[in-house]
Amino acid sequence: MSERIAYVKGRFVPESEATVSILDRGFLYGDGVYDASRTFGGQPWHLRAHIDRLYLSCRYARLDPGMDADEMEALTMELIERNRGVYDEGEEFRINHWVTRGGGVSSAATHTHGAHTVVIFTLPMDYTRYAHGYREGVPSVVTGVRRIPPECIEPRAKVGNKMNHVQADFQAAEAGAWPIMLDINGFVAEGSSYNCFFVRDGEILTPTDYNCLVGVTRTHVIDMAKELGIPVRETNLTRYDLLIADEAFHTGNSICILPVSSIDGTPMTHGAPGPVTKRLMDLWASQVGCDWAAKSLAAIEDC
């Protein structure tokens, strides 16, 4: 297998030679934004939607990638083609975009201009953590770590500093579960890297975009539910709503739709995956011509 290629600050380089300065503000302070998309059947999925969201995050963070979205998309497609020989035919991979404020001296000003860092790279999908969840669901717990309120950092921007999400992951891992984070008012916000959905009496419930990242996958799932005639309501949800849910699932770029088996030890009454969750999973697989759940299970069981 040949080495993967990355795009770093205007150059395509072997991944082993891809470096960023230790004085880069993204490294020093998490002063940057990012986005990640993926492939189905080896082909990019909703790439432009992710790039467009990246540029919205850049505007919020006052970052200038030094190119427009069309150029970013073209560079990404070129990178994918350069890496075709690295991945097997139809092998899935993540497509990652990072933009930081750059720098170069330890006292680089926040309003650094003309030295921003742009990095694009791909990584193979790693199904080991969640593949079995497609078949039996994953346990989830409400953590004591709260989502940073929008008065501090806008949740719709995908920013680089994720320490509160990391802490939620650690806390949930102590219970062998996946975290569900509340906001400071006690309403459900999101997971550590995914959006959260719950089903009650045939209706899908999910937090509003006031305190969660508006995921590309989240939007796609809502659109699929409408196509299937399943009602969706974006609303404030408390822990009570989670414990009485019939079924639940998480959505994200890598996991797609991941069924939840229990919340705080309470099993989902309709199992995992529940009937609504399964309908959404089946529709998505038919749309992309790829049974991604079966593919991920096969990948880990063949190891």
Domain boundaries, the chain: 5-124, 133-301
Residue length, the chain? 303
- pLDDT for the residue numbered 108: 56
Structure tokens at 274: 């529940």
- pLDDT for the residue numbered 44: 96
Structure tokens at 248: 């639940």
Digit-coded pLDDT (tens) for 59-98: 999 999 999 999 999 999 999 999 998 998 888 999 999 9
Domains 5-124 and 133-301 share a fold: no
- pLDDT for the residue numbered 161: 87
CB-based contacts of 301, cutoff 8 Å, min separation 6: none
pLDDT of 285 over the 70 cut: yes
Helix axes 69-82, 47-61, angle to 10 degrees: 130
The matching CATH number, chosen from 3.30.30.60, 3.20.10.10, 3.40.50.10090, 3.50.50.60, for 133-301 is 3.20.10.10
How far is 216 from 209, CA to CA, in rounded Å?
Answer: 12
DSSP-assigned letter for residue 103: B
Question: Could you give the percent of the chain with pLDDT greater than 90?
Answer: 85
Task: Check if the beta carbon of residue 33 is closer than 8 Å to that of residue 157.
Answer: yes
Expressed in angstroms, the distance from the first to the final Cα of the chain is 18
Task: Check if the beta carbon of residue 151 is closer than 8 Å to that of residue 211.
Answer: no
As assigned by CATH, the class of the 5-124 domain is: alpha beta
Position of tokens 């963070």?
61
What's the whole-model pTM score? 0.94
- pLDDT for the residue numbered 37: 96
* SS3 label, residue 102: coil
> What's the CA angle centered on 263, arms 184 and 50, to 5 degrees?
65
Helical (H) or strand (E) element with 35: strand 32-40
Task: Check if the beta carbon of residue 159 is closer than 8 Å to that of residue 28.
Answer: no
Q: How confident is the model at residue 107 (pLDDT cuts 50, 70, 90)?
A: low
Digit-coded pLDDT (tens) for 203-240: 999 999 988 988 899 999 999 999 999 999 999 999 99
Task: Check if the beta carbon of residue 87 is closer than 8 Å to that of residue 42.
Answer: yes
Digit-coded pLDDT (tens) for 159-172: 998 999 999 999 99
